[in-house]
Amino acid sequence: MGAPAIHETLRADKPLLSVVIPTYNEKASILTVIARVKDAPINLRREIIVVDDCSTDGTRELLGRIDDAAVHVLFHERNRGKGAAIRTALEHAAGGIVMIQDADLEYDPADYPAMLKPILDDRADAVFGTRFLGGTHRVLYYRHYIGNRIITALSNLFTNLNLTDMEVGYKAFRTCVLKGITIKSNRFGFEPEITAKLARAGCRIYEVPISYSGRTYSEGKKIGWRDGLAAVWWVLRYNLFR
């Protein structure tokens, strides 16, 4: 498959951006994230689609009180994972571009202009942020850094891409591209799966440096060593077992 045609809404005077926010137990940050997305310095209309993945810490109750036409809140009745939340959101996304925004404040919507420019310039079908090419970042967890680089290198070996940060949670897509891919992962396998399938489809992928304010485990970080091992399996699965 070659590069998809420009989505109709990308030709509008002010394109519509669909910001997808999968969330699970992020009571302390979810309202701040939504406010920052609304204030992001971009000349685009935007809709915000929040999918609560059966939170148990009061996040659902906070989201249930939102009364804002630009914010669409959807609820899972059981915990299904990030990939499942993205699938749910995509069923409702009306914009020509989809931006994945984590709910934990590690990624800053102030980076939206850089993330979206390659798509708006019709140079890219997907844009990955990268925490390793010069953006301002909090200094944390060297072992996580090494693990990420190993997993990214393994993915690159199969996809023949030269990404520096395949596992980054900040990704933007032409909506027609993302909706044209069948996403099967329910959890964090979304990152290696979408990377493998974009590469296989011959899509144009760009990377741009982003800032990163990583959290400690005491601050609520959820990714652990088991997720790293699972990521290796997902890289193998989506590249070798099609």
pLDDT value of residue 183: 93
Q: Which two tokens stand for residue 242?
A: 């099609």
Tens digit of pLDDT for each residue in 33-82?
A: 999 999 999 999 999 999 999 999 999 999 999 999 999 999 999 999 99
Most distant CA pair in the chain, distance: 47
Per-residue burial over 182-215, b if 16 or more Cβ lie within 10 Å, else e, is ebebbbbbbbbbbbbbbbebebbbbbbbbbbebb
Q: Tens of pLDDT along 103-121?
A: 988 899 999 999 999 999 9
Strand partners, 19: 48, 99
Predicted pLDDT of residue 1: 44
Please give the domain boundaries of the chain with CATH numbers for all domains.
8-140+167-184+203-219 (3.90.550.10)
pLDDT per residue as tens digits for the range 149-181: 999 999 999 999 999 999 999 999 999 999 999
pTM above 0.75, yes or no: yes
